[in-house]
C-alpha cells in the first residue's frame, strides 16, 4: 500500500488522481512544523506540500519511508532538495502550470495602464466626470518591451503580438524570438524604445534593483512599468519618484521586496494611494485554473515516479523517463554516485543472478546518476539487497509490474 500525505490543500484533483492509482491519501489543511511533520510522515512514501511547509534535512533524515516530495507550487526553496537527492528522494514541482495566469494578468494590466483605466476609475469613484482621451491609448501599435524572455516572457510576447503590439525583448541568454518579436542587444535598448516595460526575469541575486533610478530615467517619457516577477528587481523608492515626476505614467506591481506571510496581514508600501498604480498581492499565478493544473501536474509526476521510476522534470534527480519495456517483469530504480564502473557492477549483479536485462536507461547530473533497468524475471529480495549494498548506491527501489508492493527507498 502506498501512503500519501498532502498538506496545505492542493487542488482536489491531486488527491483524486493519486487515489485513482490505488494510493491512500491523508490530507491535512495547513502546514506542520518539523516535529509534527516527522511524526506525520511515519509510513508515508509520498509527500505533497505547497510553499509554507519546510521540509528540512532533519525531516528527511527522520522519514525513512519517504520516496518522493511534490511541491504543488513553483518554488522549491522550502525543501532541502540536495539533501533529499543524497537520500534517494526525488523532488518535483510545477514550473509552468501558472504561466498563462501570470501572462493574462500582465495583459490586463498593460491595457488598463495604457488606457489610464485606474485613474479614470478612481476619479469617478470620487465623483469626477472626465471623458478626456488625454494620454489614453490603444495597445495596438504600441511597443511592449519584455525584460526576461523565459516561460512567461515568451508567452506574453505571443499574446501581445496577437493584440497588435510590437514586441522587443532582452534576455541575458540567447533566446529564440517568437513571431515578429525582436531581440534587443541590451536592456537599455528595450527601456528606451518601449511604451510598456514588463519585467519577467528570474530570481537571480544579480537582479536585485535591476530597475533603479537610472533605468527608470532611460525609459521613454510617458511609458508604463509592469512587474510581476520578483519584488527585489524594482527599486520601489526610485519607482515612486519616477511616477511622481510623471516620467513614468503608470505601474502595475504584483510582487514586493517584503510581503506579508498570510491572508489578512497588514501590507505597507510607498506606492499605496497612487491612482496610476495597480497593486496586487502576488496573485499573478493565483487562479483556479492554475491551481487545478498544478494539482494535476504534480500528482502526475509523483505517480509516474512511483509507478515507473520516471524522474522527468525532477528538480534534484537526473531526468530519465522510459516507457515500460514490453514483457518485462519489473523495474529496478537505482540512484547512485556518478563514478566509473558503477553500471558494470549493477549489471554484474543481474548476470550473477541470471536476470535478463530487457531495457535499461541511465541519466547523470553532476555527481549523481540514476538508472532504471527493466528485468525479464521478478527480482527477489536478495538481488535487491545486493544492489543496495553496492558502494555507489544512494537509493534502490524495485517496482514489480504485476503488483503494487515495492521495496522502499534505501536510507
Ligand atoms: N507574480 C506571480 O505570481 C508569479 C508567478 C509565477 C512566476 N513569477 C516570477 O516570474 C518570473 C519569470 O518566471 P518564468 O517562469 O518566466 O522564469 P524563467 O526562468 O523561465 O525565465 C526568466 C528569464 O529571465 C532571464 N533573465 C534573468 N536575468 C535577466 C536579466 N538581468 N536581464 C534579462 N533577462 C534575464 C533568464 O535568462 C530567463 O530566460 C520569475 O521571477 C518568477 O518567480 C511570478
In the chain (411 residues long), the average pLDDT of successive 10-residue segments reads 96 98 96 96 97 95 98 92 97 94 98 97 97 96 98 97 98 98 98 98 94 98 97 97 98 94 88 97 94 97 98 98 94 98 97 96 97 96 96 97 54 39
The C-alpha cell that represents 227 in the structure block: 512587474
By alpha-carbon position, which residue is closest to atom 12 of ligand 1?
A: 200
Q: Say if ligand 1 is within 6 A of residue 210 CB.
A: yes
Q: Is the CB of 207 under 6 A from ligand 1?
A: yes
CA 228–ligand 1 middle distance (angstroms): 9
Cα separation, 46 vs 21, in Å, equals 13
Residue with CA nearest ligand 1 atom 7: 229
Report which ligand 1 atom has the smallest distance to the Cα of 283.
3
Q: Is the CB of 402 under 6 A from ligand 1?
A: no
Half-sphere exposure of 218 (CA within 13 A, CB side): 16
Task: Among 96, 218, 229, 257, say which to mutate for ligand 1: greatest number of ligand atoms within 8 Å of CB.
Answer: 229
Q: How far does residue 368's CA lie from ligand 1's centre (Å)?
A: 27
How far is residue 109's CA from residue 9's CA, in Å, rounded to a whole number? Answer: 29
pTM: 0.84
d(CA 324, CA 331): 8
Cell of 107: 495583459
Positions annotated as catalytic residues are 230, 259, 282
Q: Is the distance from CB of 65 to CB of 45 less than 8 angstroms?
A: yes
Instruction: Determine which residue's CA is closest to atom 18 belonging to ligand 1.
Output: 150
DSSP 177-189: PPTT-EE-SSHHH
Query: What are the pLDDT digits (tens) for 226-266?
Result: 999 999 999 999 999 999 999 999 999 999 999 887 788 99
The grid cell for 321 is 523517463
Amino acid at each position: 500500500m502506498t501512503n500519501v500525505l498532502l498538506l496545505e490543500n492542493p487542488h482536489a484533483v491531486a488527491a483524486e488522481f493519486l487515489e485513482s492509482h490505488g494510493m491512500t491519501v491523508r490530507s491535512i489543511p495547513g502546514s506542520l512544523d518539523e516535529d509534527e511533520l516527522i511524526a506525520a510522515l511515519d509510513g508515508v512514501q509520498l509527500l505533497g506540500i505547497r510553499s509554507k511547509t519546510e521540509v528540512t534535512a532533519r525531516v528527511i533524515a527522520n522519514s525513512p519511508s519517504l520516496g518522493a516530495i511534490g511541491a504543488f507550487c513553483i518554488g522549491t526553496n522550502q525543501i532541502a532538495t540536495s539533501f533529499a537527492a543524497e537520500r534517494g528522494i526525488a523532488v518535483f514541482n510545477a514550473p509552468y502550470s501558472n504561466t498563462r495566469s501570470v501572462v493574462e494578468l500582465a495583459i490586463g494590466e498593460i491595457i488598463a495602464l495604457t488606457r489610464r483605466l485606474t485613474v479614470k476609475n478612481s476619479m469617478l469613484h470620487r465623483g469626477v466626470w472626465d471623458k478626456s482621451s488625454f494620454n489614453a491609448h490603444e495597445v495596438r501599435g504600441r511597443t511592449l518591451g519584455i525584460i526576461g524572455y523565459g516561460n512567461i516572457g515568451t508567452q506574453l510576447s505571443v499574446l501581445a503580438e496577437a493584440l497588435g503590439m510590437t514586441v522587443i525583448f532582452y534576455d541575458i541568454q540567447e533566446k529564440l524570438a517568437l513571431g515578429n518579436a525582436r531581440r534587443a542587444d541590451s536592456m537599455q535598448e528595450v527601456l528606451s524604445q518601449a511604451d510598456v516595460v514588463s519585467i519577467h526575469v528570474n530570481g537571480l541575486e544579480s537582479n536585485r534593483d535591476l530597475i533603479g533610478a537610472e533605468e527608470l530615467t532611460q525609459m521613454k517619457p510617458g511609458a508604463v512599468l509592469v512587474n510581476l516577477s520578483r519584488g527585489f528587481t524594482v527599486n520601489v523608492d526610485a519607482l515612486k519618484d519616477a511616477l511622481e515626476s510623471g516620467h513614468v505614467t503608470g505601474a502595475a506591481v504584483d510582487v514586493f521586496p517584503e510581503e506579508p506571510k498570510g491572508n489578512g496581514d497588514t501590507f505597507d508600501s510607498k506606492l499605496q494611494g497612487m491612482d496610476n498604480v495597480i497593486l496586487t498581492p502576488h496573485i499573478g499565478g493565483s487562479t483556479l485554473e492554475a491551481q487545478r493544473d498544478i494539482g494535476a501536474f504534480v500528482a502526475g509526476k509523483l505517480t509516474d515516479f512511483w509507478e515507473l521510476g520516471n524522474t522527468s522534470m525532477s528538480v534534484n534527480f537526473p531526468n530519465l523517463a522510459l516507457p515500460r519495456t514490453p514483457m518485462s517483469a519489473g523495474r529496478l530504480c537505482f540512484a547512485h554516485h556518478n563514478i566509473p564502473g558503477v553500471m558494470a557492477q549493477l549489471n554484474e549483479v543481474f548476470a550473477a543472478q541470471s536476470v535478463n536485462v530487457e531495457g535499461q536507461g541511465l541519466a547523470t547530473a553532476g555527481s549523481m546518476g540514476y538508472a532504471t533497468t527493466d528485468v525479464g524475471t521478478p527480482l527477489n529480495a536478495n538481488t535487491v539487497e545486493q544492489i543496495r549494498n553496492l558502494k555507489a548506491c544512494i537509493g534502490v527501489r524495485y517496482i514489480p509490474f504485476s503488483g503494487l508492493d515495492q521495496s522502499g527507498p534505501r536510507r
